Structure 1
């Protein structure tokens, strides 16, 4: 019998990775508890990432506490898509790793 993790995560780790759009992400952390591979962490946006945002996205970051989802364990992703579905801002997409 398959576990829920095996049933939803069919891809080999690291082939597909999650990409977070910092212009949309509000750091609500809905992606963290649903990820069976512990790919995500919520932390303060780095100054480099913040500088790349447009004015309105920078303002949005300030309003929402300057927190975003980072993917320190992106290579563990098995492409189940639970994070994409859970994100209320639609800030996460999956793409093939390069």
Structure 2
């Protein structure tokens, strides 16, 4: 029996069609990248903004926060990191 992949397709966890880590990460970047592009197109972000850079920035911060949380960092410490990242937004 399969499970849902990040992109919505069915994947057999033990079969050859198993999604590779790289494909899973790329799929996870697609939606935010499209959303950032939409924000650039609609004027919500500066016209010279790079949606790929924004996506990598957000994902890197989120991954770092997750690693810190798994290592025992408290909510207030994690909030400080998120607040610091927000002060440096957008990363252009």
TM value normalised by structure 2: 0.30
Question: Which one has the bigger strand percentage?
Answer: 1
TM value normalised by structure 1: 0.28
Question: Which one has the bigger helix percentage?
Answer: 2
Larger Rg: 2
